[in-house]
Amino acid sequence: MNIANISIKKPVFISVVMIVLTILGYVCYGKLALNDMPNADLPYVSVSVTESGATPEEIETKITKQVEDAVQQISGVQSITSTVNSGSSQTMVEFDLSKDSGTAAQEVRDKVSSIRGQLPTDANDPVISKFDMSASSIISIAVYGSDNQKMADFVDNTLKKKLYTVSGVGAINVSGEDTREIHIKLDNNKLLQYGLTSSQVLSSIKNDNIDQSSGKVIDGDNEIAITTNSKIQKVEDFKNVLVSNKNGTEIRVKDIATVEDGIEDKTSQAYYQGNPSIGIDIVKQSGANTVEVAKDVKTALNEVKASLPKDMHADIVSDNSTSIQDTVDDVMQTIIEGCILAVIIVFLFLNEWESTLISASSLPISIITTFICMKEMNFTLNTMSLMALSLAVGLLIDDAIVVIENIVRHLHMGKNPIDAARDATAEIGFAVIATTSAVIAVFLPIAMIEGILGKYFIEFALTIVFSMAVSLFVSFTLVPMMSSKMLKAGRKESKTFIGKFFRWFNDKFDAFSEKYSRVLAFLLHKRLIVLVLCGVMLVSSISLVSALGFNMMPTTDKGQINVSANFDSGITLDTASQKTKQLEAIINKYPEVQYIYSTVTKSSASISITLVDKKQRKDSAKDIALKLSDDLKVLPGMEVTASAASMGGGGGSSKDVTYNLVGDDREKVQAFAEKIKADMAKDPQATDVGTNSKSGTPEVKMTVDRNKAADLGVNSSDVASTLATLFSGSTVTKYNGGKDRYDVKVMLQDDQRKNLNNLDGIYVSGSTGSASKLVPISQVTKKVVTTTSSTLHRYNKQAQVQVSCNVKGTAAGTFQNTYMAKIKSEMPDGVSLSIGGMNGTMQKSMISLVQCAILSVVLMYLVMAAQFESFLDPISIMFALPLAIIGAIVALFICGNQLSMVAVIGIVMLMGLAAKNGILLVDAAKERIEQGMPRNEALVEAGLVRIRPIIMTTLAMIFGMIPTAIAKGSGTEMRAPMAQAIIGGLITSTILTLFVIPIVYSLLDDLKRAFKKLRHRKSTKIKVDEGTNLGL
């Protein structure tokens, strides 16, 4: 081949090229970001609208449906999901993944803007934002101590400012913080005594505490600004604000209220190891290096810690970067181990350190050069790209092995090194190109998978494609050049024990090869028996699939468990905190628990549990989560879910199986969902069974009697504003406290707003004629105690209820399919069903995966047809491809793994690997047949010549993947099933291919000869008939 000849003639030039590639690859490696998963720019757009005081039903009608109707008109919309709460509506619009997220966001913004006039006037402007999968917390910090106010000041004025200086930090979210607030608590009895209303108090305080521009004056050549300042300098000064002057008596705030320097009513509370704390979640910028950002955040935190008071502490409670770094370290270790094992296999067969070194040199160069392509494609070092590199180790040395083995064979034929390198590379060149092209043909379509799976697997597929292309280039340049310089003619004899061992091994392998050729010659006369046996083995292995079970993605053990608790509606934050303490008490009984970090709201609690290292515990995070779920069920008044955080399978608060039930009649959907929930709860394989609907929140409607209000001169808006001020509090002004400005809130005293009876003592301003007077609210309103929906869910403009559960004792996919059929059989009219959660998202990619797998096989067939200049010969190789499935399924069964999408892609990958061996075998056989050798003899001779490179490449591949298949480090659960499937498939496909491909080739050759004879007879008959006609 020309490229090999150039390499042999210009060794310095090729050496320089390899050195440059290695240097550039190393530089690019240092610039690659470390993340858990590939950056997926998903075209999801969120629309949030708030309207204070509106019920979920009102918001659904007036806001949510309007927004849904507007965005439905945009092209490319796949689904619309809405969540409606009291006072807020959030709509998530999912577009086709081919749509640019920026374009999608702008189109949503335009459509929502066009309906702004149709939304309620008191609704806030809609907030439109793109969904960023990477915009999640990468590191969480808990600040705890004895004084929450000091902690809040430290977080706001020191820690946050320091963390924002860290490059790559996008947002800092704080929870459980005490925010200073000035409280003016009115005494309702005093208001009545002095004949005052809350609105008068609000107006007086607002008018007294001012600091505003009042214009300007021109004094000669100068322009001077005028400001009016009546700012309150001290909290105590609020007491002296004049409210009214009645009959010469001044009524000040201190006469009708108490003034407190207090804190804002909390909406959330955080706990770390049971201690009240302030939680800080660090969100990285999109595309930033997770590990580097987390490292810099920890450095900044350590610098700040030095200035912490003695009674205050700041600890890291969650750090995603550690699992990412552990995964990277583990993959790098498996790559090194795989390289070493692959090189040992090469040395075992070649028995020469020079040829082994030449083969081994292709590995690091191919891997390092791949980093250049990854950097140019904006890839990152993540679970998928690292899995590709770890699995590619055996592939990358294959081409070099085939080339170097053929060069060594030519050397042993008596040729000098230069001629041997040139002739051997030319002889095997097209076969090597075909084998590599076959593997590339398998992986290129995988990069074309649609859906969210395609966003993840594109980096996996293209990383292998890049590395294979580089490996092919190295095999045709560096390997022939080094061989021509380093290898010597003749066989070397070593007197050492190792040398004797290698000579013994090679003698035994030669004897094994001779036996193989004799067995192949025998089986070529027993072709039907062999094919029937292979068919029986294939059917038997496929029958094991049901025993394996199916799961979309393997669950990885990140050493974290997330417990999500949804409390009964209408409870207070203090009650929710007490319930969370009960959860923590049970969790702390587990010896595997290292840290507990909780965030609590009135309606829910989220508990993040950090476990000890997986090497220090017997059970996996998923098993511990299942046990926790059972233990936490005993607590009343809450629905609890415990889920192990997973790198690829969702994790967090998501459950293993989720069903979406939708329909126009919400009550019918809800009733059917409750029935399914009850049935599922009886299944011992289902745990944490629940729905996304909650019981309603208690509500008191103060219905204004318009006639009575008109008679007494009461304005309905005064009723609403008075109740809002006294029972919820109204922010009337700001207090300048030096470093910051704080809200000043007016409300009723605590003991006067404890129960519903307190409503009867509230008065509003009324008028009869020209005289004004105070009117009891009870005179113009009627109390109606009712229940309002807590949360409403909608999917594609219909009412939606989700039924979800975790699964134990069986594969989640198997359980999901079983219940899918059951639900469909019982589903009432007007209700539809779909898969939700992560499985639902992944399922959309399944059809595309099947299509791409078929495309892979078609492309591989076309590559082989081009190599052999025949559309018939590649069929013999294609016929043997299913044989790889036998070992893959058996290997997964032995290792106790489920059939997942990762394992399926491993099986697809096997097709290319099995084809490589077939190409080498058929290529050698055709070459001998063309030289005039009888077919069967050519097939046996080809098997004898090619068995060594085939076994070498297969063993190198297997041993290169063994570290990945048996690794127990972080994230190995994602990589191991693919490696196990490939190893098992390679074992069976290699053994069977060595016999099946020659047999099928001979059958096809017989068929081709029979067809030629038939055509020959027909053409002969036609000629005879023509001659007869001419004779007549």
Same domain, 257 and 145: no
Q: Quote the percentage of the chain above a pLDDT of 70.
A: 94
CA angle, 558 then 562 then 567, to 5° = 175
Instruction: Mention every residue, 6+ apart, whose C-beta is less than 8 A from residue 674.
Output: 691
Same domain, 92 and 207: no
- Mean pLDDT on 245-268: 86
CATH number of the domain enclosing 577: 3.30.70.1430
Looking only at Cα atoms, what is the longest distance across the chain? Answer: 147
Which tens digits make up the pLDDT trace of 512-537? Answer: 889 988 998 998 888 888 889 988 98
810 has a pLDDT exceeding 60 = yes
- pLDDT attached to residue 186: 92
Please tell me the total count of domains within the chain.
6
- pLDDT attached to residue 1023: 61
Same domain, 360 and 433: yes
Which two structure tokens, joined as six digits, stand for 1002?
């001979």
- Mean pLDDT on 1004-1008: 85
- pLDDT attached to residue 650: 42
CATH number of the domain enclosing 366: 1.20.1640.10
Please say which residue of 280, 305, 323 terminates a domain: 323
Q: 569 falls in which pLDDT band (50, 70, 90)?
A: confident
Same domain, 367 and 476: yes
The alpha carbons of the chain give a radius of gyration, in whole angstroms, of: 38
Helix 11-31 crosses helix 451-486 at what angle (to 10 degrees)?
150
- pLDDT attached to residue 82: 92
Please say which residue of 788, 821, 851 terminates a domain: 788
Residue 166 is assigned to a structural domain of this protein: yes
Same domain, 629 and 727: no
Which two structure tokens, joined as six digits, stand for 535?
């068919």
- Who wins on pLDDT, 733 or 648? 733
Instruction: Mention every residue, 6+ apart, whose C-beta is less than 8 A from residue 626.
Output: 642, 687, 806, 808
770 has a pLDDT exceeding 70 = no
- Residue 866 CA to residue 870 CA, distance in Å, equals 7
CATH number of the domain enclosing 769: 3.30.2090.10
Helix (H, G, I), strand (E, B) or coil at 27: helix
Which tens digits make up the pLDDT trace of 292-324? Answer: 888 999 999 988 888 888 888 888 888 888 878
Q: 970 falls in which pLDDT band (50, 70, 90)?
A: low
Residue 976 is assigned to a structural domain of this protein: no
Residue 953 is assigned to a structural domain of this protein: no
* pLDDT, mean over the chain: 84
- Mean pLDDT on 199-225: 83
DSSP string, 587-610: HTT-TTEEEEEEEEESSEEEEEEE
- pLDDT attached to residue 152: 83
- pLDDT attached to residue 581: 92
DSSP character for 89? E
Per the CB < 8 A criterion, the answer to whether 777 and 709 are in contact is no
In sign, the C-alpha dihedral spanning 414, 416, 421, 425 is negative
Which tens digits make up the pLDDT trace of 150-195? Answer: 888 888 888 888 898 888 888 888 887 778 889 999 999 998 888 8
**Domain range enclosing 822:** 647-696+789-835
Please say which residue of 428, 462, 487 terminates a domain: 487
Weakest mean pLDDT among 416-425, 576-585, 782-791:
782-791
- Mean pLDDT on 636-640: 85
Residue 748 is assigned to a structural domain of this protein: yes
Q: pTM of the prediction?
A: 0.74
Which tens digits make up the pLDDT trace of 32-41? Answer: 888 877 877 7
Q: Which residues pair with 88 in a beta bridge?
A: 50, 85
Residue 862 is assigned to a structural domain of this protein: no
Residue 882 is assigned to a structural domain of this protein: no
- Residue 821 CA to residue 827 CA, distance in Å, equals 10
Residue 94 is assigned to a structural domain of this protein: yes
- pLDDT attached to residue 505: 82
DSSP string, 958-1002: HHHHHHHHH--STTHHHHHHHHHHHHHHHHHHHHHHHHHHHHHHH
711 has a pLDDT exceeding 80 = yes
The most confident of 55-59, 464-468, 557-561, 751-755, by mean pLDDT: 464-468
Same domain, 172 and 292: yes
772 has a pLDDT exceeding 80 = no
Which tens digits make up the pLDDT trace of 106-145? Answer: 999 999 999 988 888 888 889 998 877 666 788 888 888 8
Same domain, 14 and 156: no
Residue 983 is assigned to a structural domain of this protein: no
Helix runs in 210-319, H state only: 253-256, 290-305
- Who wins on pLDDT, 645 or 706? 706
Same domain, 652 and 798: yes
Same domain, 825 and 771: no
Which two structure tokens, joined as six digits, stand for 608?
């993040």
Same domain, 639 and 651: no
Same domain, 363 and 444: yes
Residue type, 193: Q
- Who wins on pLDDT, 969 or 998? 998
1026 has a pLDDT exceeding 80 = no
- Mean pLDDT on 325-333: 80
407 has a pLDDT exceeding 60 = yes
Per the CB < 8 A criterion, the answer to whether 417 and 484 are in contact is yes
CA angle, 597 then 601 then 604, to 5° = 85
Same domain, 235 and 118: no
- Mean pLDDT on 566-580: 86
- pLDDT attached to residue 649: 45
Q: 909 falls in which pLDDT band (50, 70, 90)?
A: confident
In sign, the C-alpha dihedral spanning 566, 568, 574, 578 is negative
DSSP character for 553? S
- Mean pLDDT on 1000-1017: 82
CATH number of the domain enclosing 812: 3.30.70.1440
- pLDDT attached to residue 651: 40
Q: Quote the percentage of the chain above a pLDDT of 90.
A: 12
Terminal-to-terminal C-alpha distance of the chain:
60
Which tens digits make up the pLDDT trace of 831-890? Answer: 998 888 777 777 767 778 888 888 888 888 888 888 778 888 888 888 777 888 888 888
- pLDDT attached to residue 932: 85
- pLDDT attached to residue 1029: 57
- pLDDT attached to residue 324: 80
- pLDDT attached to residue 65: 92
- pLDDT attached to residue 13: 92
282 has a pLDDT exceeding 50 = yes
218 has a pLDDT exceeding 90 = no
- Who wins on pLDDT, 633 or 47? 47
In sign, the C-alpha dihedral spanning 773, 776, 782, 787 is positive
